[in-house]
Structure 1
């Protein structure tokens, strides 16, 4: 149930100082997360509002849904109408000054708390639906035939590693593994020399499906609870050596980083846009992947951005350098098509499962979603304001992903930061 209602009203204001006009978390957003007071404190559910968060377990008696515990899995599993009722109640509580005395003691500065993974992630699946990224990478290996024949018929995906997903701010230790330098006769083992980031959206599964029961495309949106940012780090040198015949393995499973806030499907209702038309001559999706309503409003009006901050830039007090910026609509398949395809063979999705869209790139250099694309496989390094060059990431580099949903007549909402610094291999 994706409805534009009073919670999206651009005239709506909050009594929480600094919430109105906040770049990420005005009252029109209301994303959920899990926090603790201190790294080892009790994990509790919260909603973000401006630079604050509201402890939901402390006000559970005021809500239509009881929210307690160290994960949001139970919240994600709720039927859409109950999630909507919760959103409407929180909107009323945070906009009506009469509720301030009861709620204000349970507000905390977001800068003073520790954020955790929002859910216990049972399974993680990464897709490959950014067609410009697929073309860019494919051209580096198959200049005359960048896309394999199945790409325009099947939402390509692979099963990733849920245990190594971490929230924003947790450093990334450079992975070690096998790679085969072009000039070598045999592979070597050591730290990745071609470490890269990947700009993706994460999709949080809400209500699941029973094993053996597919999810029809017309119902797929009902199984999507929310979204986050996802950096699916990649060791390109490991990947080139290992990916045939079974796909990525050690090149991808060492860590993935997500933004810690679940931006709900309900919050994104005003930012739904039409799925971009397929190029003339491309095949129409098979019937189980085709729904007219999904084509009319299955994409998101979200702008994505990647920034890089090196150790030298930090020392000199310089701001991060933008690497790319582009729309999230650069996806060949909609999120609903991803979900429908994932469950089409009877695979049972569960609340708290995470899907990655795959790297989202624009058609031009200023919107490429990875260094592999920007540097043309390392042959055209990026020059930074310090004079440093980057083909791939070096130790001390920090990648920052951000996103903003925009639509005329509505207040923009953001996703919060997705950032991590690269530490040396152990």
Structure 2
């Protein structure tokens, strides 16, 4: 049952409008005007509202009309069509050659072929998908957009705008040194042999230690938690519960969470897949993108939605092809949600060339700085508390808010 004060505008619309003006599409538009966000939750939400109203003391003809609309499959079909209309409009308004190319590719798709797990069916443009056939120049244009907006790599000599932060060069160098030491230690422990024998847990443990090292000494007055051991995503669980799909959420291999406003918020997900993952499997495996969508929707449903949508980015880290790590970002640009590869690096678990080691360390530093900028922006918008301390903890230790493993240096701006 929906609460009494929820969606009053839509309920009044259904109670008072002439029946010939009440349709599923108009109800969805009315719902979006009130929710100010589109997600597949809308279908079940509308269905519950229609059921609630048929329990009210309405005239029989109106009740019959509302009952006739209570077809979840029809609602989902219309929802998908309307979402594509909105996406088409945003792509046209973006007015760039890349967006025009994406628009033309989507137009050629039969919407009936899209499953609800597919990013496109949820209004998400997954740039890696073979649907779009983007050229390298198109990738570069979109990467420049995300780099300019989120400032993943900031030169120490750059004049910073307000609310942009950069660590001192000496601090970044220390993190990079620690990462290199951790990686060399894994190589000496014959990590590649363990992983090549098919031990996915061994690989997840290695990546956990590397990511944990990359996030140490973050200049953030908040607690950071790296979960492991297939802990379920609360954002995924919330979405599935709303859709009455399952009582349990998807379980990424690793999650990076930050404690905002008395709750943990998921900002990054890691999926190892298999050590030798094929391109075909990668292009048809939407679990990571789905997790990023859930995390994004969870955060941007808070107060100050417009500001959060402007700055929020959710990271997806996965292993593709042979021995490569790809870091993706899910973000909103020109009203369009893009799932975009940010950086790709070979995972050097044996005596690789110096360039491979440097590129891998650089990729993890990009993730660190991307999270750093993202957390500062979200926390600023949500009005961060003044007296907390940064903590990087293992999930097994994260039950106590007072655990303090890391004390950070002061903020630094150039």
Q: TM-score, normalised to structure 2's length?
A: 0.27
Rg comparison, structure with higher value: 2
- Which structure is higher in strand share? 1
Choose between structure 1 and 2 for higher RCO, CA contacts under 8 A separated by at least 6 residues: 1
Q: TM-score, normalised to structure 1's length?
A: 0.26
